[in-house]
Structure 1
């Protein structure tokens, strides 16, 4: 149930809602990732309405193209693994992050600390699960000794950096411009071009969703105010379609048509062309605009927003991760169905509450630091102007 305005959730609840909402969206989208809405409907006898099993059932260990990953049954994917890894960086630094924090904390975490990997059903290094675009962090920074601020250059341009930037938005809750700037810096270690831009805009959208009077429309307006180049154009095109719908089913094809001119992957998600995922000022990742579109169509309701994202197909685990984070930040943890959250936590062997508590503590410390820094600047500036007189 979505809280009414007089029961607007506080910071801790919004952080919990965003992080749990992102993890649940990730787990719902994982088993149908890479397929079309039509294929999903045939496979599941209609639209996905909750947590489902692997696409190939018991053959998940060997069935291509996703073997050997157990996608389904409530297992989170690398979106959540990376999100929680970034929260651990915040817990260590306890201040704003930059590309150097990625090099000093995130890369060693991926490379050196075994963790339970739900899709592998085993303990392993996160490096052994994350996608090649995320392995780039380790290759460039740990082995290549590249300047962290420039390490993202040369990587494929995709949603890899954006998918785990919700913590940046939450630490900068209700300050989307600050979230955008911080995420752009952090993502420089991982991505370039519109992949980096999407990371900034997604973080800003999460921060905007934390504002006490936020609505889906205000979140999208904030994203449009900050987004640049093709990312802005793609969000605008998708939003123009989304506002004409209140149900995702008739919107699935129009949304894809709206985002297609900006998406370099092409019609066949599993067979992108040679021009796919290359830097460009004219293009955008598909995931963020669609997530924002589903937020508008669902009116911010978590269940409707996330199920629309899941049934869109293609990279729907990342779409649902982003949409779930924003909807969860808007309405708090009560918006995320408890049975879904429990299934995901149990199946993935994850404590979904602890990361939220850790990040809420960090957010308060960072705000206190920011306040002290701002007051020191105000005092210094006042003295400067007084002396000038």
Structure 2
């Protein structure tokens, strides 16, 4: 366990943070949250407390120590010691698609670019401690992309139908929010299209709402409350209700320790997995208009509890347990986009341990985001001129 002395509050959201700083904060913040949550994924707060002799306050080793290669149910993955997981592998893969397409994405871009990237380009996989195809690491719900799009020749916009409904698409949608910085509605719409190749029902909805949260967090005057308000203005069905209930509870707390149980109780009616994360209920991960993935409401709840402070929100997500690598990925992305700095010690440790340049994808995405924005502006101006010529309205200066 990292000494508590290392846990100093980081700065709260920074209204003057630039686009580059917010893109970097979101992507690096997501990766660091992912790495911190990996070694305690699937366990309860009480189990984490017992295993680590207290709460997790930083980067820790594998749950089963040196037996990680064979210990079930994690084997053969080296979760811990600063290793990122599939959340970050997929996020960086999506950034590479943006770098290739250099425009807004849709489900066809997933079929044409993301799937081939997963299937044909070996990369260093930290959890395997080897170079391998990303396809060999991603979970079955992500392998669905390859099965349906490459082998099944499914319509990309409908390929997600039939997959288990989980956070698999939502966990890597931060780049969509960043490309649509300060435009939550645009991020929501684009992410729903992208995620249609991967997920359906509330899994697809969560992808749209998470992208919207990241986009809303990029606004210069953004706060945790404004992010949640933007999400509630777009979210539908059980996803909206779950976010509303969790954030209502979160607003009553100022530290993650006191919020752990109340937040779980608030999200439980909407979560289909059930109380035992490793033994899901028979109704788990099936399409529904009444339910939501657990990860996104909890992540937003931790952002609210900690006032947008990166360190507090991510540690709250990590110590919540269950699917905490994805929860911490989402909380880290939102706080990073708000301008709360990622602890430098953590980011350096994760980059070194994972053998990844965590900053290069951010530089690439910021550059592409500006290109896309300029193209969007030209398109809007052309539309204004054409609409005005139709007698619809006069262009204002």
User: Is TM (by shorter chain) over 0.5?
Assistant: yes
Whole-angstrom CA distance in 2 between matches of 1:199 and 1:216: 18
* Residue 81 (structure 1) aligned to one of 60, 73, 89: 89
- In the alignment, structure 1 residue 277 sits paired with structure 2 residue 285: yes
Superposed displacement of residue 384, structure 1: 1.1
* Cα displacement string for residues 144-180 of structure 1 (whole angstroms, at most 9, x for unaligned residues): 0000000000000000000000000000000000000
Contact 2:13 2:309 in 1 (8 A): no
**1:339-384 per-position Cα deviation (integer Å, ceiling 9, x unaligned):** 0000000000000110000000000000000000000100111111
Aligned twin of 1:310: 318
Residue 322 (structure 1) aligns with: 330
**C-alpha distance in structure 1 between counterparts of 2:140 and 2:176, whole Å:** 23
The unaligned stretches of length 5 or more in structure 2 are 1-9
Within 2, Cα distance between the matches of 1:215 and 1:34?
A: 30
Matched residue pairs, number? 385
Secondary structure in 2 aligned to 1:116? strand
Report the alpha carbon displacement of residue 40 of structure 1 after superposing the two structures with TM. 0.1
Q: Is the 8 A contact 1:309 1:323 kept in 2?
A: yes
Does 1:193 pair with 2:201? yes
What TM-score, normalized by structure 2, do the two folds share? 0.96
Say whether 1:103 aligns with 2:107. no
* Matching of residues 170-249 of structure 1 within 5 Å: 170-249=178-257
Is residue 356 from structure 1 mapped to residue 362 from structure 2 by the alignment? yes
1:64 to 43, 51, 72: 72
- Tell me if structure 2 keeps the 8 A contact 1:3–1:9: no
Question: Is 1:2 paired with 2:11?
Answer: yes
Structure 1 vs Structure 2 CA RMSD: 1.2
Q: Which residue of 2 aligns with 1:371?
A: 377
Q: CA deviation at 1:266?
A: 0.2
Shift of 1:2: 2.1
Cα gap change, 1:42 to 1:351, in 2 (>3 Å)? same
In the alignment, structure 1 segments of 5+ residues that lack a partner are none
The CA distance in 1 between the partners of 2:338 and 2:247, in whole Å, is: 18
Question: 2-side partners of 1:4 and 1:326: how far apart?
Answer: 10
Contact preservation (8 Å) 1:33, 1:316: yes
Question: Using the alignment, how far apart are the partners of 2:345 and 2:260 within structure 1?
Answer: 26
TM-score by length of 1: 0.98
* 1:246 Cα deviation from its structure 2 partner: 0.2
Shift of 1:8: 1.2
- The alpha-carbon distance between structure 1 residues 4 and 348, as it changes in their structure 2 partners (threshold 3 A), is closer
